[in-house]
A and B are shown apart, each in its own frame.
Chain A
Amino acid sequence: DGGITQSPKYLFRKEGQNVTLSCEQNLNHDAMYWYRQDPGQGLRLIYYSQIVNDFQKGDIAEGYSVSREKKESFPLTVTSAQKNPTAFYLCASATVGAGGRTQYFGPGTRLLVL
Chain B
Amino acid sequence: RKEVEQDPGPFNVPEGATVAFNCTYSNSASQSFFWYRQDCRKEPKLLMSVYSSGNEDGRFTAQLNRASQYISLLIRDSKLSDSATYLCVVNIDNQGGKLIFGQGTELSVKP
A99 x B104 contact (CB < 8 A): no
In the complex, what's the smallest C-beta–C-beta distance from A55 to chain B, in angstroms?
12
B87 x A99 contact (CB < 8 A): no
* Smallest CB gap from B32: residue in A: A100
A45 x B98 contact (CB < 8 A): yes
B32 x A90 contact (CB < 8 A): no
B44 x A102 contact (CB < 8 A): no
**Which chain B positions have C-beta within 8 A of A44?**
101
If A31-B97, A42-B87, A42-B103 touch, whether A105 touches B45 (CB-CB below 8 Å) is yes
**Which chain A positions have C-beta within 8 A of B111?**
none
Chain A contributes a number of interface residues (CB within 8 A of B) equal to 29
A48 x B46 contact (CB < 8 A): no
A101 x B32 contact (CB < 8 A): yes
A107 x B42 contact (CB < 8 A): yes
* Smallest CB gap from B48: residue in A: A99
B98 x A100 contact (CB < 8 A): no
Contact flags B76-102 to A (C-beta < 8 A → 1, else 0): 000000000001000100101111011
Does A74 sit within 8 A of B, measured CB to CB? no
B97 x A48 contact (CB < 8 A): yes
Does A103 sit within 8 A of B, measured CB to CB? yes
From A35, A96, A99, A104, contact of B50 by CB (8 A): A99
A43 to B104, CA, bound (A): 10
Given contacts A43-B87, A94-B97, 16 further A-B contacts (CB under 8 A): A31-B97, A35-B101, A40-B103, A42-B4, A42-B101, A42-B104, A43-B99, A44-B101, A48-B98, A88-B41, A99-B33, A99-B51, A100-B49, A101-B99, A105-B43, A108-B42
| Contact surface of B with A, Cβ cutoff 8 Å | 4, 31-34, 41-46, 49-51, 87, 91, 94, 96-99, 101-104
